[in-house]
């Protein structure tokens, strides 16, 4: 019988959730949802020095914002859901001790008394001799008397897992195929630190087995640890889960993705005005594709179409330009009322409220086709709701042009009682104004726009004037003319 699909995302809470971690979370979530399985969130806080509660909260907030719900795991610091003792590794220490004792009793683990300085010296020597920098196994064969001598000298010890000396370990990878490792080239990994706490490499093996993970989908930086982990499964008498290692993510310049390529935290993309649905859509394309190279996915399409067969071995490129383009595509398909609700935090931050002016539904609709980020929306419609601030460029290029003041005063007089104040009627009236004075449209349209908005660019002119209303338009024409005195 095939095991039920259970996947997990198991971050170390030593910082924010970055793009690579978000992509890993998404692929695990999509795979579980596609197969009707379960997705688990586990906090691997074995780094006692660097793990923080703030980082845990940032991870929970990031995964929640992305819309990736988890079936088991922490809800916050005091509450967890699921049948297991805890989903924080530092609350599972008694479980790890039990299995460490099993490895010690079987001769598959041993005490290592090497100091940091000794390990650093081994690493330097290996580099000089152009060998892989790894532990040389010098504590493997210590006798009981030698161990007591080390401890009498005050030395603390870590525990290492003993890899086989001969043969190979094959990692059956669902993306890369079988990857073979020579056992004699693998080092004996530390499984318990001198502090008594477990290491990532050991704790994740125990937890993935006890939490019944069917698949471990993670970044390819973990591939080198996998042969040792597979040997730990065997030493404990367990069947390993199925592994899939995702390709590396590069920046547009071809180097490994880092903060110089953009935001370091997923939540920064929220603050910059990206939609969670866009982040899911774009992240899915980093190392995965459908057979027809579909780019935009609506609703539940990602879940229905995702499979590991579409994952690629070659590195993926994270491109903010493409992400922003995709965000614009989504915003244009979002109903205006929903768009306003999504942009509310940014309207609030800008202090923008209708307050007797035109409704946000009308002003936002004018610029709907231009939005690329939620953060742009307030700045593109704010002139409707606050006094006009004429940019230096608009003042010098448009309003200081010969005859501009006369145009503004003439329009104010011409429109003060004009009715109906609708876009098509306004366009006819203003074009007649141009003809009557032998002016080119640009000599009138440009000053009219600048007087009403303070800018040289903006929404469709006459529809904008209709939304703004006659009283406001006439008042702004007179104010702009007065500024030219």
In this predicted structure, the answer to whether residue 384 has a pLDDT above a threshold of 90 is yes
CB of 244 closer than 8 Å to CB of 8: no
Q: Are residues 182 and 239 in the same domain?
A: yes
- Looking at the DSSP bridge assignments, the partners of residue 38 are 6
Domain assignment of residue 326, yes or no: no
Q: Are residues 98 and 236 in the same domain?
A: yes
pLDDT, residue 118, reads: 92
Task: Mark which of 246, 266, 289 sits at the end of a domain.
Answer: 246
Q: pLDDT-based confidence at 134, cuts 50/70/90?
A: confident
Give SS3 for 227: helix
Domain assignment of residue 327, yes or no: no
Q: pLDDT-based confidence at 259, cuts 50/70/90?
A: confident
CATH code of the domain containing 27: 3.40.50.620
CATH code of the domain containing 379: 1.10.8
Q: pLDDT-based confidence at 11, cuts 50/70/90?
A: very high
Domain assignment of residue 221, yes or no: yes
Catalytic residues: 259
pLDDT, residue 263, reads: 72
Q: pLDDT-based confidence at 3, cuts 50/70/90?
A: confident
Q: Are residues 103 and 188 in the same domain?
A: yes
Summarised one tens digit per residue, pLDDT across range 138-162 is: 999 999 999 999 999 999 999 999 9
Q: Are residues 119 and 212 in the same domain?
A: yes
Q: pLDDT-based confidence at 355, cuts 50/70/90?
A: confident
Domain assignment of residue 322, yes or no: no
Summarised one tens digit per residue, pLDDT across range 189-200 is: 999 999 999 999
Q: pLDDT-based confidence at 453, cuts 50/70/90?
A: very high
Q: Are residues 225 and 275 in the same domain?
A: no
Task: Mark which of 351, 367, 384 sits at the end of a domain.
Answer: 384
Q: Are residues 237 and 105 in the same domain?
A: yes
pLDDT, residue 299, reads: 85
Summarised one tens digit per residue, pLDDT across range 410-441 is: 999 999 999 999 999 999 999 999 999 999 99
Q: pLDDT-based confidence at 356, cuts 50/70/90?
A: confident
Which sign, positive or negative, has the C-alpha torsion 297, 298, 299, 304? Answer: negative
Q: pLDDT-based confidence at 264, cuts 50/70/90?
A: confident
Average pLDDT value for residue range 122-130 = 89
Q: pLDDT-based confidence at 261, cuts 50/70/90?
A: confident
Task: Mark which of 285, 317, 349 sits at the end of a domain.
Answer: 317
Q: pLDDT-based confidence at 76, cuts 50/70/90?
A: confident
Q: Calculate the average pLDDT of the chain.
A: 95
Q: Are residues 57 and 141 in the same domain?
A: no
CA–CA distance, 45 with 463 (Å, rounded to integer): 57
Q: Containing H/E element for 434? A: helix 423-436
Average pLDDT value for residue range 58-78 = 94
* Structural domains counted in the chain: 4
Average pLDDT value for residue range 61-83 = 94
Average pLDDT value for residue range 288-314 = 96
Q: Are residues 365 and 394 in the same domain?
A: no
CA distances in angstroms from 86 to 21, 70, 89, 216, 365, listed in the order given: 22, 15, 7, 19, 49
CA–CA distance, 100 with 161 (Å, rounded to integer): 9
Domain assignment of residue 325, yes or no: no
Q: Are residues 98 and 27 in the same domain?
A: no
Average pLDDT value for residue range 65-93 = 95
Q: State yes or no: cis peptide before 220, omega within 30 of 0.
A: no
Burial string for 123-161 (b: 16+ CB within 10 Å, else e) reads eeeeeeeeeeeebeeebeebeeeebeebeeeeeebbbbb
Q: Are residues 167 and 306 in the same domain?
A: no
pLDDT, residue 1, reads: 41
pLDDT, residue 75, reads: 92
Helical axes 441-453 vs 470-483, angle rounded to 10° = 100
Q: Are residues 136 and 83 in the same domain?
A: no
Range of the domain at 223: 92-246
pLDDT, residue 258, reads: 79
Q: pLDDT-based confidence at 132, cuts 50/70/90?
A: confident
Average pLDDT value for residue range 48-52 = 92
Q: pLDDT-based confidence at 458, cuts 50/70/90?
A: very high
Domain assignment of residue 69, yes or no: yes
pLDDT, residue 226, reads: 98
Q: Are residues 361 and 301 in the same domain?
A: no
pTM for the full predicted model: 0.92
Three-state secondary structure string covering 189-209 = CEEECCCCCECHHHHHHHHHH
Domain assignment of residue 328, yes or no: no
Domain assignment of residue 456, yes or no: yes
Q: Which single residue is written with the structure tokens 């100091």?
A: 115
């Amino acid at each position: 019988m095939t095991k039920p699909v259970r996947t997990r995302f198991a971050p170390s809470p030593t910082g924010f959730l970055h793009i690579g971690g978000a992509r890993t979370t998404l692929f695990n979530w999509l795979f579980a949802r596609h197969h009707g399985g379960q997705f688990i969130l586990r906090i691997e806080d074995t780094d006692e020095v660097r793990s923080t509660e703030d980082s845990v909260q940032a991870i929970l907030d990031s995964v929640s914002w992305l819309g990736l719900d988890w079936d088991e795991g922490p809800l916050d610091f005091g509450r967890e859901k699921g049948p297991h003792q805890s989903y924080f590794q530092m609350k599972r220490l008694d479980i790890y001790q039990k299995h460490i004792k099993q490895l010690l009793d079987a001769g598959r683990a041993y005490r290592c008394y090497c100091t940091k300085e000794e390990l650093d010296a081994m690493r330097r020597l290996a580099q000089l001799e152009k060998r892989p920098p790894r532990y040389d196994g010098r504590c493997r064969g210590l006798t009981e008397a030698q161990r007591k001598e080390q401890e009498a000298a005050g030395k603390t010890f870590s525990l290492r897992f003993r890899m086989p000396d001969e043969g190979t370990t094959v990692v059956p990878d669902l993306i890369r195929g079988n990857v073979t490792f020579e056992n004699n080239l693998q080092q004996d990994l530390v499984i318990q630190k001198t502090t008594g706490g477990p290491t990532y490499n050991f704790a994740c093996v125990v937890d993935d087995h006890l939490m019944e993970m069917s698949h471990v989908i993670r970044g390819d930086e973990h591939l080198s640890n996998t042969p040792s982990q597979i040997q730990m499964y065997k030493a404990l008498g367990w069947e390993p889960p199925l592994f899939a290692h995702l390709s590396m993510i590069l920046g547009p310049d071809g180097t490994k993705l880092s903060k110089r390529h953009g935001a370091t935290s997923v939540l920064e993309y929220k603050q910059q005005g990206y939609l969670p649905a866009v982040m899911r859509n774009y992240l899915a394309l980093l190392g995965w594709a459908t057979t027809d190279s579909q780019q935009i996915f609506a609703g539940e399409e990602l879940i229905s179409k995702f499979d590991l067969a579409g994952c690629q071995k070659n590195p993926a490129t994270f491109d903010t330009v493409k992400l922003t383009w995709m965000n614009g595509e989504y915003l244009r398909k979002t109903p205006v009322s929903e768009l306003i609700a999504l942009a509310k935090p940014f309207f609030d931050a800008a202090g923008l409220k209708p307050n007797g002016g035109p409704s946000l539904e009308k002003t936002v609709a004018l610029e709907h086709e231009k939005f690329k980020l939620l953060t742009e929306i307030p700045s593109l419609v704010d002139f409707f709701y606050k006094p006009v601030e004429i940019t230096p460029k608009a003042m010098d290029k448009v309003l200081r042009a010969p005859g501009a003041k006369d145009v503004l005063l003439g329009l104010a007089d011409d429109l003060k009682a004009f009715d109906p104040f609708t876009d098509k009627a306004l366009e006819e009236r203003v074009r007649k104004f141009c003809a009557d004075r032998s002016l080119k449209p640009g000599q009138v349209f440009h000053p009219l726009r600048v007087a009403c908005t303070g800018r040289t660019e903006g929404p469709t002119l006459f529809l904008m004037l209709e939304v703004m209303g006659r009283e406001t338009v006439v008042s702004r024409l007179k104010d702009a003319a007065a500024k030219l005195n």
